């Protein structure tokens, strides 16, 4: 069973082998999803200066999971959303991919993963992005849909039941990591 403890300034996450290999698989998938709309000429992102400078239009994602990760800046203003996507989406994609890399590096450390404050933050964001994708894949787009999914749990097919179990597992890790960082914030000194 996974466990999360503070050790000095670090947070230590302990994962069973099967938990760690599952996380490696799903975060590798997330890294691939984030890299999906990379430039077609095979250049690494670091050399794609047109995208960096916001010189090329970036199409609005067709995949609802990607659209949830890269939302319109204003759902009521198509023109401004298009311009904003051109100017900023590359940076957002880089930031999200960076968080996922930090998670994958952590998972490669072994069963006991010591994380600095910044790494914990990257993990929280990466876990949140993973949960957003899993939720879209399971059709959880409202709180009602979520309740319904849990109510039907006994009737779900095996793969959906596994996805929901994974979702609960990463939710638990994200919530525990968040609680750890919340207790470090200045506003909580007197608690």
Partner 1 sequence: MSNPTTPVLEPDVDIRPATEQAKPWKTVVFNDPVNLMSYVSYVFQAYFGYSTEKAHSLMLEVHENGRSVVATGGREAMERDTQAMHEYGLWAACQPETGSD
Residue from 10, 45, 72, 160 binding partner 1 (CB under 8 A): 72
CA quadruple 43, 44, 48, 54: dihedral sign: positive
- x/- letters, 111..140, toward partner 1 (CB under 8 A): -------------xx--xx-xx--x----x
- x/- letters, 13..52, toward partner 1 (CB under 8 A): ----------------------------------------
Q: Which two tokens stand for residue 92?
A: 């957002």
**Rounded CA separation 33/35 (Å):** 5
77 binds partner 1 (CB under 8 A): yes
Residue nearer to partner 1 on the CB measure, 112 or 184:
184
Residue nearer to partner 1 on the CB measure, 21 or 152:
152
179 binds partner 1 (CB under 8 A): yes
Residue with tokens 């450390």: 109
142 binds partner 1 (CB under 8 A): yes
Q: How far is CA 101 from CA 98, 118, 146, 157, 183, in A?
A: 5, 13, 29, 31, 26
Residue nearer to partner 1 on the CB measure, 57 or 74:
74
CA angle 127, 146, 67 (to 5 degrees): 55
Nearest to 176 by CA among 7, 12, 8, 16: 12
Site residues (vs partner 1, CB under 8 A): 68-77, 84, 88, 91-92, 95-96, 124-125, 128-129, 131-132, 135, 140-143, 145-146, 171, 174-175, 178-179, 181-182, 185, 187-188
């Amino acid at each position: 069973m996974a466990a999360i403890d503070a050790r000095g300034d670090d947070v230590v996450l302990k994962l069973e082998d099967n938990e760690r290999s599952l996380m490696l698989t799903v975060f590798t998938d997330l890294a691939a999803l984030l890299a999906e709309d990379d430039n077609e000429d095979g250049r690494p992102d670091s050399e794609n200066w047109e995208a960096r400078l916001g010189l090329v239009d970036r199409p609005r994602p067709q995949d609802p999971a990607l659209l949830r990760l890269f939302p319109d800046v204003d759902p009521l203003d198509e023109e401004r959303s298009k311009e904003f996507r051109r100017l900023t989406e590359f940076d957002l994609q880089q930031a999200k991919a960076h968080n996922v890399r930090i998670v994958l590096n952590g998972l490669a450390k072994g069963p006991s993963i010591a994380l600095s404050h910044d790494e914990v933050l990257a993990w929280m964001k990466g876990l949140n992005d993973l949960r957003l994708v899993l939720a879209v894949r399971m059709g959880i787009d409202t709180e009602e849909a979520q309740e319904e999914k849990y109510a039907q749990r006994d009737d779900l097919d095996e793969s959906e039941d596994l996805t929901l179990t994974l979702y609960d597992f990463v939710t638990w890790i994200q919530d525990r990591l968040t609680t750890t960082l919340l207790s470090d914030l200045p506003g909580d000194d007197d608690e």
